[in-house]
Amino acid sequence: MSVPAGQHVMAMKYAHTGQTADSNGPSVVSFTLTTNDITGVSQNNPAAANTQYDIALCACVIGTDCPTTLPPAPPGVMGPWYLLNTGGTASGVGTVLRARIIPVYTTTPQPYTYTSYRAFCNSKSLRVWFDATSGGGSSSQVIYDVSTNINAGGHDIINNLLAGMQYGAESGHGGFPIAWQRDMLWQLQAAGVPVGQHKAAMKYHHAAQTDNSSPASMVTFTIDAGYAGMSSMSASNPGAGTTYDIALCACNMGEDCP
């Protein structure tokens, strides 16, 4: 979808039941789109029909009639699972950044070291998240917290992703999941990830932790038979050399995200 900069209105049916007569008005969200941000956001329920809009909020069921293809991307690369921001939760969004955490299936299990994890993400034209202003590599390899106030280390993001898998609440650290268990399962299946146990990994903590002996942060989960759901989900910070098969890489929207 390509939407030009400027003012836009998203619309859908108002209320719960009823409201289907041609005289009924919609529920709308108005906003202004710029190159790097969305401003002037407001929501209302205009009573009049024929309110103009240019983005229709439609519905679909995953696995039934939702689009079954992902945007073009290297093999194994999925859609974003996490949004970085200066607020603590989705309801206290703060300053929204362009940075996203994006999972990539490695096909075969990889033993974790920071250097090899970063190299894998870079090989997919992605970067890694580093909750500090320097110390993890060049800016072409790493997305840094140049604002110094995100407060989202790898362990924080992993715990928030675990909450997303469990349909739970965020922990209050910078950012929040933008994919939940059913969304994750759809993306995992599209990327060719088989049923069974998997480990998704990223750099541990905030600054440092870049030695080959440094631990990772991982979320472990099992894809149930028939892709019916997820089970046995847990978060941990295991030592270097622990194998994983999903790398949690980073990208900036409008820059290097697929």
Asked if 235 and 145 sit in the same domain, the reply is: yes
Q: Is residue 74 a part of any domain in this protein? A: no
Q: Is residue 192 a part of any domain in this protein? A: yes
Q: Burial-class residue 154 by CB neighbours within 10 Å (0-12, 13-18, 19+).
A: buried
Q: Is residue 73 a part of any domain in this protein? A: no
pLDDT given at position 74: 72
Q: Is residue 158 a part of any domain in this protein? A: yes
Domain that holds residue 170: 82-252
> Using one digit for the tens of pLDDT, what is the confidence trace for 51-67?
888 999 999 887 678 77
Asked if 225 and 190 sit in the same domain, the reply is: yes
pLDDT given at position 17: 82
The answer on pLDDT for 91 being more than 60 is no
pLDDT band at 196 (very low <50, low <70, confident <90, very high): very high
pLDDT band at 88 (very low <50, low <70, confident <90, very high): low
The answer on pLDDT for 172 being more than 70 is no
Min mean pLDDT across 30-39, 54-63, 113-122, 210-219 is at: 30-39
pLDDT given at position 203: 98
| 108 contacts 236 by C-beta, under 8 angstroms | no
Asked if 39 and 163 sit in the same domain, the reply is: no
**Number of domains the chain contains:** 2
Q: Is residue 71 a part of any domain in this protein? A: no
Asked if 112 and 220 sit in the same domain, the reply is: yes
Question: Position of tokens 């039941």?
Answer: 17
Asked if 40 and 104 sit in the same domain, the reply is: no
Asked if 181 and 245 sit in the same domain, the reply is: yes
pLDDT band at 235 (very low <50, low <70, confident <90, very high): very high
pLDDT given at position 94: 64
Asked if 170 and 212 sit in the same domain, the reply is: yes
Asked if 18 and 107 sit in the same domain, the reply is: no
Asked if 44 and 87 sit in the same domain, the reply is: no
Asked if 91 and 190 sit in the same domain, the reply is: yes
Q: Is residue 14 a part of any domain in this protein? A: yes
pLDDT given at position 68: 58
The answer on pLDDT for 149 being more than 60 is yes
Of residues 65 and 139, the one with the higher pLDDT is 139
Q: Is residue 72 a part of any domain in this protein? A: no
Average pLDDT, the chain: 89
Q: Is residue 116 a part of any domain in this protein? A: yes
DSSP string, the chain: ----SEEEEEEEE-SSS---STTB-EEEEEEEE-SS-EEEEEEE--SBTT---SEE-----TTTTS---PPS-STTB----EEEESSSBTTB--SEEEEEEEEEEEEEEEE--HHHHHHHHHHTT-BEEESSSSSSS-TTTEEE-TTS-----HHHHHHHHHHHHTT----SSS-EES--HHHHHHHHHHTTPPSEEEEEEEE-SSS---STT--EEEEEEEEPGGG--EEEEEEE-PPTT-EEEEEEEEEETTTT--
